[in-house]
Amino acid sequence: MMSGQTDVDHGPMKKISSMFSSLQEKLHRDKGEKKVLTPPLAPTPRPLSHQGRIPSPGQTFFFEHLVVVSLKKSNGDKGYEPQISYQFPKATNRSQKEEEEKCLKAVTLFCFPEGVSWAPLTEYHSETFSFVLTEIDGSRRNGYCRRLLPHGKGARPPEAYCIISRLACFGLFSKIFDEVEKRRQISMAMIYPFMQSLREAPFPAPGNTVKIKSFIPESGTEIISLTRPQDSWLEHVDFQTLFHCLTDEEVLQVFAATVLERRIVFIAEELGTLSQVLHGVAALLFPFLWQHTFISIVPRVLLDVYLAPTPYLLGIQSSLQHQLTDHADLLIVDLSAPKGSKFITRIGDEDTLIPAKLQEELLQALCRRSSDAPTEELNRVISEAFLTFFVKTVGHFADHIKKSGGGKQAAMFQKRNFLKAVEPKSSRTFVKQFVQTQMFDLFIQEEEKQPNHEGQHQHTSLLHISLYLFYRLTHFSLKVGDMMVRFGYCDNFVMLFSECMRGLVSTWTAVCVIKRYRDKIQCVYTE
């Protein structure tokens, strides 16, 4: 569903100049305006305290739980209810059991959100989808689920495999499901040694591979390779379903409503479609993060959440659509409806929220993708288009985070000066609305804490982003000694490259600040 993005080694550094020029021309076509350099793909997002960031390799397990959820006949005529028939690992103490019970009770609801209305089946098309579990403190865990018909004869209800992990990497866990399913067909006992080996393995860094040894009767010992995509922030995202269900113009209307934090409901029968689309919409916001209710698949018992007055992104199955009786101030998008009738309910201004010129530029950027483009190419074009949109509208924010006094006084965002500096003026109405959102406010709060808004820290950030730009534009892994990056008095490439790869700076800040310092950067490639 949401496979990640991997890089291809295209080799020659001589392509850099033309690629830089092409990117600059895309961003600033206005006559007389200085060209600005921004990356074609977003850098890895900096960690936010409430977003459950991807840990460094070795800091956490691949997953927290693997459960098999089966449908059991309930007492009386209540149909079936989901119950956990297998769990790995088992809780080791009482406090763990209590915590796990709360988590796993929610998991059963998301694995079978339709409720108890099931009947035994002889055929069932397996589907893979994901959901997010949000804790009281705002931290998030990802649920990956595969539903299928268990091995056997005659009519039987489907069952679901579910993996709970702090890590967001759909493609990787889809491959793990393939291996779990293969072993489940032999015996439930075959799952344990494989999952134990996986749990003990270190989570690979972006672009790296971890190999797991596993024994299967009649096949012998197998080596299973699990490779993490190079672009870690996109490894949970596949935009293909979103742009298959909606036209580019419809995506822009959904994007506009999402950016301004409205209440949006997506309707589809397929669970995979709902989860893909909602995760895709949320990914369009990068480097900002959706801070409100996000339920990619709403279980029947939680359907009343759509009545909440606060912003949300909800995915609801078509079979439950008739229960949405209050449509006030809602954008309801039917992903299965024919073209021209996707919006069941809308506020009415969605197509005018984004200034016309910016809409045109976004549509032009999206048109650069090929109809048969692979997932990684599609992700690249789309992520570049929307990141560029944010650079153009609010990318100058770093110029307006300043210390009001000397010493260690915290930096403050000067909103009034920031809004006055918005260009062109036709974008100011949109930006004034956007700065009122919680996602922008929390983003600025995090940036105010960063040390790299004044002085040497700022220059260091620019070195890091220049490294990142060369890395992304040339599509091959940098090697220490192959490239030197010089910037004024800072020319210790090994140290800077190391810090860049460890994520010690806010690369998004560097993207914006680079506008002022771009002429001072000199990059030299040595064979």
pLDDT tens-place string over residues 269-295: 999 999 999 999 999 998 899 999 999
pLDDT value for 160: 93
What is the DSSP code (8-state) at residue 215?
E
**Please, are residues 417 and 409 in contact by the beta-carbon 8 Å criterion?**
no
CA distances from 408 to 358, 405, 411, 414, 455 (A): 39, 8, 9, 18, 13
Distance CA 388, CA 365 (A): 9
Distance CA 331, CA 335 (A): 12
pLDDT value for 272: 93
DSSP code string of 357-426: HHHHHHHHHHTTS-TT--HHHHHHHHHHHHHHHHHHHHGGGGGGEEESSSTTPPEEE-HHHHHHT-SSGG
Is the pLDDT confidence value at 177 over 50?
yes
**Please, are residues 71 and 117 in contact by the beta-carbon 8 Å criterion?**
no
pTM of the model: 0.74
Least confident of 130-139, 309-318, 408-417, 487-496: 487-496
Beta strands (DSSP E) in 228-325 are 263-268, 293-295, 312-317
Determine the average pLDDT of the residues in 410-433. Answer: 91
Distance CA 71, CA 83 (A): 6
* Domains, the chain: 13-50+372-525 (no CATH), 65-230 (3.30.450.200), 234-366 (3.40.50.11500)
| Strand arrangement, sheet containing 80-88 | 80-88, 65-73, 159-165, 140-148, 127-134
How do beta strands 401-403 and 343-345 pair? unpaired
**What is the chain's percent helix, strand, coil content, to nearest 5?**
40, 20, 40
Name the 3-class secondary structure at 288: coil
Confidence of residue 500 (pLDDT cuts 50, 70, 90): very low
Is the pLDDT confidence value at 505 over 80?
no
Determine the average pLDDT of the residues in 432-440. Answer: 96
Is the pLDDT confidence value at 16 over 80?
no
pLDDT value for 93: 67
Distance CA 382, CA 403 (A): 36
Confidence of residue 496 (pLDDT cuts 50, 70, 90): very low
What is the DSSP code (8-state) at residue 139?
-
Least confident of 271-275, 339-343, 365-369, 521-525: 521-525
pLDDT value for 429: 95
Determine the average pLDDT of the residues in 148-171. Answer: 87
Q: Indicate left, alpha or beta for 37 from its phi (over 0: left) and psi (-120 to 50: alpha).
A: beta
Write the burial class of residue 20 (CB in 10 Å: 0-12 exposed, 13-18 middle, 19+ buried). Answer: middle
pLDDT value for 452: 54
Distance CA 175, CA 303 (A): 31
Name the 3-class secondary structure at 466: helix
pLDDT value for 192: 86
